[in-house]
Amino acid sequence: MADPFEDTTADFRVLVNDEGQYSLWPAFREVPPGWSEGGPAGGRQHCLDWIEAHWTDMRPRSLRTLPAAI
């Protein structure tokens, strides 16, 4: 079986978790616990381009919201 995450002809969706981290997800798969739809659905490259444009700070939300170091 081919890797569904690498299928350039399949439909995907963008998921996001509570930490504001994004994931490319095959559209035919159920959304896993802890994740929700958080961006577009469509072709693989379309979703990857959206993630690249919108997920500019790779740190988890809990780390981004910490006060500055003393």
Q: Where are the domains of the chain?
A: 4-59
Measured CA distances, 70 to 66, 67 (Å) = 11, 9
End-to-end CA distance of the chain: 51
Confidence of residue 51 (pLDDT cuts 50, 70, 90): very high
**CATH 3.40.50.800 fits domain 4-59:** no
Q: In which residue are the tokens 């079986």 written?
A: 1
Better pLDDT: 66 or 42: 42
CA dist 60 → 33, 35, 43 (Å) = 17, 14, 26
Query: What integer pLDDT is reported at residue 69 of this predicted model?
Result: 62
At 12-42, the pLDDT tens digits run 999 999 999 999 999 999 999 999 999 999 9
Q: Torsion-angle region of residue 29: left (phi > 0), alpha (psi -120 to 50) or beta? A: beta
How sure is the predictor about 65, in pLDDT bands with cuts at 50, 70 and 90? confident
- pTM, rounded to two decimals: 0.86
